[in-house]
């Protein structure tokens, strides 16, 4: 038996995509275990998550994403761009499409500039009010956790956003798990350390829930981080975010949108 797959990445946030557009390839009750096995970078293919692409009854296509710890994530901005690129290249969608996710419908505008693929996708509007975080002088979305002031922002998945002078000065492997598992985030959170680098630019590093380590890029984290700095009045409606793996641009003037690349790395076959 053979299972075709495609490896893609968005700024180094990498995924294995399984095409289930015509038929189910991995039974639903095995998808989580499949992700744990094939996300492993030593004994599997290696990825931050497994994308399953299928037809949708409400949108053009549907995305499900399972993570290395066998959890299913509600949404993934870099994953949506990768899924949309694959679907566009396969002829399943045209230059604009909609994607069904657990966090709701995502619209996408797709284009090639020379050989580079760029997608601009709608993102869930950041939500800052968190009733499970005690109110402080800055509202319920801000709390002191350990040595850090932590802002909460949900962009389809929960995020913690911490403003620091220099992201490289933070021991993320040591600092992030305390925040990721803090009781105020009842479902856990991705943790973003954010450095202002200009009047409209940020640099971020993200520790991802489900992957349980730092990843090279996180689209929902970039959106959450940009949303927080805009919300507290530091920046305006267009914010350039430099992740460890490359740039993303977050727009707020007409809804919330994220612009960034997606790259096909290779295709292969799993044989068993």
Q: What pairs with residue 213 in β-bridges?
A: 208
Identified catalytic residue from 39, 59, 76, 82: 76
Phi, psi of 31 (to 5 degrees): -65, -40
Compute the distance between CA of residue 158 and CA of residue 82 in angstroms, rounded to an integer.
Answer: 21
Phi, psi of 37 (to 5 degrees): -75, -50
Compute the distance between CA of residue 171 and CA of residue 197 in angstroms, rounded to an integer.
Answer: 19
Q: Which residue has the tokens 């038996």?
A: 1
Q: Is 218 a catalytic residue?
A: yes
Identified catalytic residue from 39, 82, 97, 218: 218
Other CB atoms within 10 A of residue 170 CB = 17
Q: Is 76 a catalytic residue?
A: yes
* C-alpha closest to that of 151 among 81, 76, 97, 229: 229
Please give the positions annotated as active site.
Answer: 76, 218
């Amino acid at each position: 038996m053979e299972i075709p797959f495609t490896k893609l990445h968005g700024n180094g946030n990498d995924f294995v995509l399984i095409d289930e557009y015509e038929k189910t390839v991995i039974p639903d009750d095995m998808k989580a275990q499949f992700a744990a096995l094939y996300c492993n970078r030593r004994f599997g293919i290696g990825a931050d998550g497994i994308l399953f692409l299928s037809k949708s009854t409400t949108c053009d296509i549907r995305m499900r994403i399972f993570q290395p710890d066998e959890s299913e994530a509600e949404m993934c901005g870099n994953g949506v761009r990768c899924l949309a690129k694959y679907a566009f290249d396969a002829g399943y969608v045209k230059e604009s499409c909609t994607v069904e996710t657990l966090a709701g419908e995502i619209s996408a505008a797709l284009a090639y500039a020379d050989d580079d693929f760029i997608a601009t996708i709608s993102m869930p509007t950041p939500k800052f009010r968190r009733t499970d975080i005690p109110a402080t002088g800055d509202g319920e979305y801000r709390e002191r956790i350990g040595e850090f002031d932590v802002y909460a922002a949900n962009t389809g998945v929960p995020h913690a956003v911490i403003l620091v002078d220099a992201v490289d000065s933070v021991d993320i492997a040591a600092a992030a798990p305390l925040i990721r598992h803090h009781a105020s985030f009842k479902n856990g959170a991705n943790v973003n350390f954010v450095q202002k680098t200009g009047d409209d630019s940020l640099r971020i590093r993200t520790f991802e829930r489900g992957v349980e380590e730092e990843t090279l890029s996180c689209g929902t984290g970039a959106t959450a981080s940009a949303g927080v700095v805009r919300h507290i009045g530091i920046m305006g409606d267009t914010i350039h975010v430099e992740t460890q793996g490359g740039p993303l641009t977050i727009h707020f003037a007409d809804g919330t949108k994220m612009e960034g690349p997606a790259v096909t790395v290779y295709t292969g076959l799993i044989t068993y």
